[in-house]
Amino acid sequence: MVKVLIADDLAPGAADIFRNRGIEVDMKVGLKKDELIAIIGDYDGLAVRSACKPDKDVIAAGARLKVIGRAGIGVDNVDVKAATAKGVIVMNTPFGNAITTAEHAIAMMFAAARQIPSASARTQAGEWPKKDYIGVELYAKTLGLIGAGNIGSIVADRALGLKMKVVAYDPFLTPERATQIGVEKVELDELLARADVITLHTPLTEQTRNILSAENLAKTKPGVILVNCARGGLVDEAAVRAGLDSGRIGAAAFDVFLEEPAKTNVLFGAPNFVATPHLGASTIEAQDNVAFQVAEQMADYLLTGAVSNALNTPSVTAEEAPRLKPFIALAEKLGLFAGQVADGGFSEVEIEYEGAVSQLNRKPLTSAALSGLLRPFLAEVNMVSAPAILQERGSQLKESKREESPVYDSLIRIRVKVEGKWRSVAGAMIAGRPRIVEVKGMALDADFHPFMLFVNNSDKPGFIGSLGALLGEASVNIATFNLGREAAGGDAIALVGVDQDPPPATLAAIEALPQVRYVKVLRF
């Protein structure tokens, strides 16, 4: 039975989604770390919000753990690196609370521009401080978006409705997308110089940490309004306080802080500062949406293999999964072949897709190929961890596609560079089974077998008889025998499926044959 643990307060309907799809679910909120470690080994999935913090120790204890679902966008509380290394998929729900968060940013922008919280507090305290609150209009002002993804684009849409001009800094924003959402794409320095209001809508990464540093804040227009409803750590809070105190910064409104819960903060008590306790996603609609969405995503993955909104592995839709499954198996086996013949290692990897497979979602196929490729070198590697591990090793990866294949409906070829020389293997699905159809550019047709002898030899008489005799003497039964060659008398290969793992002495005797250049036992 597939089991999921809900370890944070999620809308009750989330548990119903799991149960209705045949997944056993337990709700245990407020667990201490040691309590979570003690039970996580019983579960295939873990659903959290922000209070539960599955760190490397919790993930290591999850013997059955396959997926962590975060009901929300930010995954600061999840050790994604540890999850990736263990092959655990980490999902979030980037769209469930997007409108809510964007609306909060707009509300904070108005609150800061018109100093609404302070004016409200003083008015209700019996004052009538009308002369102390001269705000600024947002009409015709320039809004600078740092981050123009899902939430940022919604903020842009609302700001355009207010007749503001919108400029955006986002390295991933294409000119076409900028035109589509009605913003002008600019570099960060230009945004800082032009924006009357700056809002942040980017995750916290090493590239975005302190993106509004003291140095960058000094480049902004006098009187600029800052709004941060994204992540604490994006802004130098002490520098903002200094700017508010001096009047260089007109106002600031933050929903997030470097340290949360923010019981104290350098910004608290500053003039023209508005604070809310991380309320960006706190609406009834958003909490229901993210809870239901994460439950559906996790259930889809655990039951069908479909992957949605994963941070550490390619997404695969439920419709794609059945069609991709046989090619994933083929890619992984071809990778395992290439990894075993790479011996000591490789410096470059090329994966080529030909024919119909080139039109499929190739990212999971590449991940599967890399998983197989790295397995001979690493005990624990899978589709989730393989791409990150390859990057850490410094090996170059190149992927290419060709819409037509000369011989097969679909073909996958893997090439690895070993000590300056390329080694290659290609495969195809034939009659529903993964087959090896090319090695070192030589055509053949071989089934994958649990034990296979890969022999590179010269095409000269006597080789096949000698090889068969040596295997017979060792009582190693031949299951399949496939040959390929460049030309008569030239370079040749033999792929021999055997029922037993040949003993070392037999391998040495095969390698000593005058026609043999290389021999290797491949295990699948």
For residues 297 and 318, the answer to whether their CB atoms sit within 8 Å is no
Helix or strand holding residue 20 (H, E) = helix 13-20
The distance of Cα 31 from the centroid of its chain, to the nearest Å, equals: 27
Helical axes 116-124 vs 98-114, angle rounded to 10°? 60
Query: What is the spatial distance between Cα 313 and Cα 315, in angstroms, rounded to a whole number?
Result: 7
HEC profile for 218-273?
CCCCCCEEEEECCCCCCECHHHHHHHHHHCCEEEEEECCCCCCCCCCCCCCCCCCE
Per annotation, catalytic residue among 278, 415, 423, 435: 278
Task: Give the span between the Cα atoms of 79 and 58, in whole angstroms.
Answer: 9
Nearest-angstrom CA–CA distance, 456 and 491:
7
Known catalytic membership, residue 404: no
* Amino acid identity at 124: Q
Do the beta carbons of residue 7 and residue 28 sit within 8 Å? yes
What would the two tokens of residue 351 be?
């994966």
Strands (E), 66-130: 67-70, 89-91
- Residue pair 245/271 in contact (Cβ under 8 Å)? The answer is yes
Are the C-beta atoms of residues 75 and 96 closer than 8 Å to each other?
no
C-alpha distances (whole Å) from 222 to each of 137, 243, 436 are: 15, 9, 67
Q: Take residue 485 and report the two structure tokens written for it.
A: 């060659």
Is 260 among the catalytic positions? yes
Q: Which two tokens stand for residue 189?
A: 């320095």
Residue 470's φ and ψ, nearest 5 degrees, are: -65, -40
Instruction: Name 184's bridge partners.
Output: 167
Within 13 A of 66's CA, how many CA atoms are on the CB side?
Answer: 18
| Radius of gyration for the alpha carbons in the chain, expressed in angstroms and rounded | 30
Which residue in the block uniquely carries the two structure tokens 């305290």?
Answer: 125
Packing angle, helices 463-473 and 504-511, rounded to 10:
160
Contact (Cβ atoms closer than 8 angstroms) between residue 48 and residue 71: yes
Cα–Cα dist 249/289, whole Å: 36
Catalytic residue among 260, 380, 403, 486, which? 260
Active-site annotation holder among 49, 231, 241, 423: 231
- Annotation marks residue 104 as catalytic: no
Q: Catalytic residues, which ones?
A: 231, 260, 278
